[in-house]
């Protein structure tokens, strides 16, 4: 999009054969914004590394309240802008997102990020950081729920000698029914996001004394098929 980008990763091999053509190295001076895209456990350390950058946005998936806690601890103004990327099509999803969610620390920074992402042409939702963190978790938990739902249907179809695909194709004709998840049939959801994010959401419920019965059932169905999450 015409920006000068510097990228840093503790893994030296992270940028090998990368066709994007970014500058490699940790640069924090004369930088407009820093985007933290690291595993959840490394977010605190990564934010500390770029603490002197005027604008910081965490793109990692974090439990609700994490970014607020970061701001309170370091006295910073960190925002949360979750990524909605599929592993197999991450580049396409990054350039053609279906939505941009900005968990803004303040209106000033929210305006900056909205203008930055504007060329991508996606709808922009501006909320608080704790809300953007929850949006990402709920988004993936819903996708996981659909897969487990159809895997439960598939279990019954097998016992009845019915073709699950025939059932799904008819049900999907209802415009209220999502097509997602209606073709896994006996295959657990996996990857780096759905099991992890479902487990995080379940843990968030439990930490607040709430019972996530439906989400626990989604996880249990997936475990029966050999998938995660385990918590």
- Residue 217 contacts by C-beta under 8 Å, 6 or more apart in sequence? 148
Task: Give catalytic status of residue 193 as yes or no.
Answer: yes
Helical residues (DSSP H) of the chain, grouped into ranges? 43-49, 66-74, 90-95, 107-117, 129-160, 164-171, 194-207, 213-224
The answer to whether residues 143 and 181 touch, using CB atoms and an 8 Å cutoff, is yes
Cis peptide, bond prior to residue 229, ω within 30 of zero: yes
Report the alpha-carbon distance of residue 145 to residue 147 in Å, rounded.
5
Catalytic residue among 37, 106, 157, 193: 193
C-alpha–C-alpha distance, residues 157 and 164, integer Å: 6
Q: List residues with catalytic annotation.
A: 193
């Amino acid at each position: 999009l015409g920006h000068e980008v510097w990228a840093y990763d503790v893994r030296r091999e992270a940028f090998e054969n990368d066709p994007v053509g970014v500058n490699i190295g940790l640069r924090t001076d004369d930088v407009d914004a820093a985007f933290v895209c690291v595993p959840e456990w490394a977010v605190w350390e990564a934010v500390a590394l770029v603490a002197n950058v005027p604008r910081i946005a965490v793109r990692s998936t974090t439990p609700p309240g994490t970014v607020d806690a970061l701001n309170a601890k370091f006295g910073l103004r960190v925002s949360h802008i979750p990524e909605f990327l599929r592993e197999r099509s991450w580049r396409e999803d990054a350039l053609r997102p279906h939505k941009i969610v900005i968990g803004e620390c303040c209106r000033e920074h929210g305006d900056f990020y909205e203008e930055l992402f504007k060329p991508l042409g996606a709808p922009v939702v501006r909320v608080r950081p704790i809300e953007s963190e929850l949006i990402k978790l709920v988004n993936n938990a819903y996708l996981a729920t659909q897969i487990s739902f159809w895997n439960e249907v598939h279990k019954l179809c097998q016992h009845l000698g019915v073709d699950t695909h025939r059932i799904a194709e008819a049900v999907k004709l209802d415009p209220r029914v999502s097509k997602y998840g209606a073709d896994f049939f006996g295959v657990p959801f996996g990857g780096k996001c759905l099991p992890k994010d479902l487990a995080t959401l379940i843990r968030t419920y439990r930490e607040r004394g709430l019972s996530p019965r439906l989400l626990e059932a989604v996880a249990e169905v997936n475990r029966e098929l050999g998938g995660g999450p385990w918590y």
